[in-house]
Amino acid sequence: MSHSPSGPLNGFAELFSVTGRPTEIKVSFWIWFAGGVLALMGGLLGMLASLVLFAAAPAAAAAVVALMLLGAAVGAAQMVLAVKMKAGRQWARVALTVIAGITLVLAAVNTAAGMGQGAGNWTAFLISLAATVLLWLPNSQAWFAAVSGRNTSSE
């Protein structure tokens, strides 16, 4: 049995298929998904790297590990939300918009407090802003409306 490139996708291939979606949705999906992968990897690597702090400052190390785990969890959630958004779920589009808003708040707080990565925080916000704007453009709005009209499941 051979797989035809034009045949239906199933399993893992369907997870990344963006066929039949407007360009705005495709680009936004890949931005959000790639950002989630990077956040997940960064959180896990940061957590592992911060384990060396336990010898010098156990309380600070525990806080850093917790924050890194939180970052990894947000990255994983962002990946799931991107897949659900690509499937036409309105709630996932709203949740990604909220994540972009949280990114703005964190960038502003980190800048005001003189903490964080400065330009990196603002870059992350601008990228998430671009991905969010794509989700709310007229072509995307029409696609979500059409998909929600066909999709009556609560998932």
Q: What is the pLDDT of residue 114?
A: 73
Task: Give the pair of three-digit tokens for residue 22.
Answer: 């407007």
Question: 3-state SS of the chain: helix, strand, coil percent to 5?
Answer: 80, 0, 20
Determine the pLDDT at residue 134: 97
pLDDT value of position 113:
76
- Average pLDDT per consecutive 10 residues, the chain (155 residues; last block may be shorter): 51 72 94 94 88 85 86 92 94 96 86 72 89 96 89 54
Conformation bin of residue 11: beta by default, left when phi > 0, alpha when psi is -120 to 50:
left
| pLDDT score of 33 | 95
**Rounded alpha-carbon distances, angstroms, from residue 49 to 68, 69, 145:** 10, 12, 45
> What's the pLDDT at 34?
95
Q: What is the pLDDT of residue 10?
A: 65
- Tell me how far apart the alpha carbons of residues 30 and 62 are, in angstroms, rounded to a whole number: 33
State the pTM of this model. Answer: 0.81
pLDDT of residue 2: 44
Look up residue 121 and give its two tokens.
């925080």
| Apex 16 CA angle, 36 and 84, nearest 5 | 65
pLDDT score at 118: 66
